[in-house]
Amino acid sequence: MTAEVQNRPRIALTLGDPAGVGPELAVKLLAKPETTQVAEVYVLADRAEVEAAAAAAGVTVPLADEPAPGFAVLLDDNSAPAEPITVREVSQAAGERTMHQLRRAVALANEGKVEAILFTPLNKTSLKLGGMNEEDELRWFAKELNYTGTTSELNVLPGLWTARVTSHIPISEVAERITPENVTAAIRLLHGVLSDSGLESPRVAVCALNPHAGENGNFGREEIDQIAPGIADAVAEGINAQGPFPSDTVFLAAKRGDFDGVVTMYHDQGQIAMKLIGFDRGVTIQGGLPIVIATPAHGTAFDIVGKNIANLGATEHAFELAAAIGSRLRASKTLV
């Protein structure tokens, strides 16, 4: 066996919410020969679930008992519910099934058996019904991984990454959480992940919070009192960070290649731009964690479940990123 094959990153794959398009996307990814050529893929599902999804998608999923190029490994624990989970609906059953497999994936990560987790789309309401009490998956993963450092949900398109200072909170609470320390932490995290992805000197732009970047304090002082000092501290650490820039123009500059990443102040400030630029390739990475965790940025798409038309582009991109960063993580382990 060559060193290249031995050092393939190990990725745990879950089928996402069983009521959505996740199972369809997962089996289509597994059916592509190149998927298991570049990574060891461990599928967390019962065989019946994989076979049903593959039959509906019209694909064949090559499975084996041991990892080998061309074959995924199915980790079937015979735990599927006796009654089929209703598709195209939010439900406690769907949330519980999703949570069960995510816990298994995290257990593999905690045991050092995988460097990456890839999950197809989840439904946040079903997750809440199924027992997730945290504000989002990122905080849940951090807790399950016993990680207390800085984290941020990262949104990724080919050639452009974003991080957030705040994420899944009400708009009314955003301004109070914009502090120099939080701004610096988000810049530092984005810089680090961009470096891990292979960029030698990432260029990071930072958004303003207020219209026109505050117009020198006329529309708010967050840019002056909080964001600019946070950027200055990041620059002092050797990070190539610039701003704050008005959020209605910074993505035009990023799209033409002036920046590799953008730090936004709140969820929709970046998400709207990223989804308009490239919805079918968008990926979410749970940034800052000790392993790479990636998922397509779109949702469960209940409206097209069963039609076999779900776009695989974002799932493929998520897999590519998980494999690339996971490969670096695995290589770093072999050098210790």
What residue segments make up the domains of the chain, in order of their start?
1-147+289-336, 151-281
| CA atoms of 310 and 23, how far apart (whole Å) | 10
pLDDT of residue 5: 56
pLDDT of residue 79: 96
| CA atoms of 64 and 68, how far apart (whole Å) | 8
pLDDT of residue 128: 96
The hierarchical CATH code for the domain 1-147+289-336 is 3.40.718.10
pLDDT of residue 228: 98
Burial track 118-144 (b if 16+ CB lie within 10 A, e otherwise):
bbbbbbbebbebbebeeebbbbbbbeb
Sorted by sequence, the CB contacts under 8 Å of residue 320 that are 6+ apart come out as: none
Residues, the chain, total? 336
Was domain 151-281 assigned CATH 2.40.70.10? no
Strands 116-119 and 292-296, sheet pairing: parallel
pLDDT of residue 3: 41
Cα distances (Å, whole numbers) of residue 276 to 181, 255, 269, 271: 30, 11, 12, 8
Q: Which of 257, 154, 18 is CA-nearest to residue 26?
A: 18
Locus of tokens 């776009």: 311
Q: What is the pLDDT along the chain (336 residues), one digit of tens a residue?
A: 344 556 799 999 999 999 999 999 999 999 999 999 999 999 999 999 999 999 999 999 999 999 999 999 999 999 999 999 999 999 999 999 999 999 999 999 999 999 999 999 999 999 999 999 998 898 999 999 999 988 888 999 988 999 999 988 999 999 999 999 999 999 999 999 898 888 889 999 999 999 999 999 999 999 999 999 999 999 999 999 999 999 999 999 999 999 999 999 999 999 899 989 987 788 999 888 999 999 999 999 999 999 999 999 999 999 999 999 898 888 876 543
13 near 298, Cβ under 8 Å? no
C-alpha 264: how far from chain center = 16
| CA atoms of 181 and 271, how far apart (whole Å) | 23
0.75 exceeded by pTM: yes
Q: Is it true that 1-147+289-336 and 151-281 share their CATH fold?
A: yes
pLDDT of residue 6: 60
Both tokens of 169, joined, read 């909170």
| CA atoms of 202 and 285, how far apart (whole Å) | 17
pLDDT of residue 1: 37
